[in-house]
């Protein structure tokens, strides 16, 4: 078998039979990489092991190339953030492969497929896989069966900076992804792929399964604002200060996000509720750092209330005391009412309440007279009052 000829033939079939994937596949250069188990992509190249390609039928190679296209087209590479690289790759594979099967692709043997994950987001699947790994440490990626050292803390660093074969470790024998080590290059790649994907969707509307069109629109082409941007906007709207658009805030200019600069930096007391149930453990530090960054722009007082079924700890910070350092205390069931009761009983008059939670608990029966922002670690939750934003894990 001439591997390059087979890869090129498969790409031609993609263009003829699956226009969306074929158009985008043209963006990937074929690059031989013997250290790669199967195939991998960083959004610029499709790296492949020629010995693996030789084991596949032509239709399986077509499926493999479509699988690789999915990672940059669906934004998987750039949505990694601080997640565990190996498990995020698995979550993306489970969701992407179901869409590929719906589009009538033939995937190589060993591809990760499970109908239990149908209609789930990649973040939801990732959370399930992480919980399973934490419950059964012996089954975590990186242990046994030659999977390499990918446990949390060992394989969680910057993807693409591993040594040898670990760099292209494939969780499902169908091709993996890794993020470019250069942040500037990664950002450029994200913008270019989003533009190219938008154009490919417009050129091939009838080529895409309905669930894939919906996912592309919601997660890639028209994604919601990041939670930390909504958090900052919420605090600024409740700060009762004047703003100056002619002197924009410098904090987010590098990200091409324009927010007004403050004329006055006075902010009344802010109360921060922290749900100390286990579902919020992994994001507490990230939440505290982001809230501290927002509040440090103001002259204010922050009252941090840790609560499970009752108030466990109350800590007060002045602006000069930030960032928030005290670790959360508690860990039982969830009841939101004690935080609201504490505010009332202590006679606090907050400018707003920011509450990190999984949204699974008992809410107060009456809406308070101050703004509330719920930051949920779980998706598709509802709130009885206030605003809600999802923190993508």
- pLDDT tens track for 199-210: 888 887 667 888
Task: Render pLDDT for 24-52 as a digit per residue (tens, 0 to 9).
Answer: 999 999 999 999 999 999 999 999 999 99
- What average pLDDT score do residues 143-171 get? 44
Model-wide pTM > 0.85: no
Say what the pLDDT of residue 138 is: 56
Averaged pLDDT, 301-328: 94
Q: Which of 256, 252, 287 is nearest to 272 (CA)?
A: 287
In the prediction, which pLDDT does 248 show? Answer: 53
pLDDT of residue 149: 30
In this structure, of 18-27, 260-269, 316-325, the range with the lowest mean pLDDT score is: 260-269
For every residue of 57-70, DSSP letters joined together read -HHHHHHHHHHHHH
Is the torsion defined by CA of 65, 70, 71, 72 positive or negative? Answer: positive
> Per residue in 227-247, pLDDT tens?
888 898 888 887 754 444 444
Contact 72, 217 (CB under 8 A): no
| pLDDT score of 146 more than 90 | no
In this predicted structure, what is the pLDDT of residue 57? 97
What is the 8-class DSSP label of residue 23? H
Beta-bridge partner residues of 274: 306, 356
Q: Which CATH architecture has domain 227-390?
A: 3-Layer(aba) Sandwich (3.40)
pLDDT at 32: 96
Residue 336 predicted with pLDDT over 80: yes
Domain with CATH 3.40.50 in the chain: 227-390
Kindly report, residue by residue over 87-102, the tens digit of the pLDDT.
999 999 999 999 999 9
Q: CA-CA distance, 379 to 124, in Å (whole number)? A: 8
pLDDT score for 106: 97
């Amino acid at each position: 078998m001439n591997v390059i000829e087979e890869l090129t033939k498969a790409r031609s079939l993609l263009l003829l039979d699956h226009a969306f994937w074929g158009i985008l596949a043209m963006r990937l250069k074929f690059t031989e990489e013997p250290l790669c188990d199967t195939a991998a992509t960083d959004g610029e190249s499709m790296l492949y092991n020629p010995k693996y390609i030789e084991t596949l039928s032509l239709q399986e190679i077509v499926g493999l190339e479509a699988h690789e296209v999915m990672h940059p087209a669906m934004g998987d590479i750039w949505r990694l953030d601080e997640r565990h690289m190996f498990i995020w790759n698995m979550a993306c594979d489970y969701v992407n492969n179901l869409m590929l099967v719906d589009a009538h692709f033939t995937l190589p043997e060993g591809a990760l497929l499970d109908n239990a994950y149908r209609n789930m987001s990649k973040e939801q699947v990732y959370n399930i896989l992480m919980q399973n790994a934490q419950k059964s440490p012996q089954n975590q990626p990186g242990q046994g069966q030659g999977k390499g050292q990918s446990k949390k803390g060992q394989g969680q660093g910057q993807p693409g900076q591993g040594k040898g074969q670990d760099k292209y470790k494939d969780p499902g024998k169908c091709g993996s992804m890794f993020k470019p080590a250069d942040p500037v290059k990664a950002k450029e790649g994200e913008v270019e792929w989003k533009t190219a994907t938008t154009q490919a969707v417009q050129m091939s509307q009838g080529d895409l399964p309905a669930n894939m069109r919906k996912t592309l629109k919601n997660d890639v082409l028209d994604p919601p604002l990041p939670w930390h941007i909504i958090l900052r906007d919420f605090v600024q709207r409740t700060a009762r200060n004047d703003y100056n658009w002619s002197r924009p805030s410098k904090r987010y200019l590098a990200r091409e996000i324009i927010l007004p600069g403050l004329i006055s930096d006075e902010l009344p007391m802010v109360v921060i509720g922290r749900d100390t149930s286990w579902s919020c453990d992994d994001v507490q530090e990230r939440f505290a750092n982001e809230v501290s960054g927002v509040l440090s722009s103001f002259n204010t007082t922050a009252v941090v209330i840790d609560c499970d079924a009752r108030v466990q700890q109350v800590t007060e910070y002045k602006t000069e005391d930030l960032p928030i350092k005290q670790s959360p205390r508690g860990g039982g069931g969830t009841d939101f009412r004690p935080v609201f009761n504490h505010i009332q009983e202590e006679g606090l008059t907050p400018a707003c309440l920011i509450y990190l939670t999984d949204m699974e608990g008992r809410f107060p029966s009456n809406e308070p007279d101050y703004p509330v922002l719920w930051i949920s670690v779980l998706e598709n939750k509802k709130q009885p009052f206030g605003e809600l934003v999802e923190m993508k894990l």
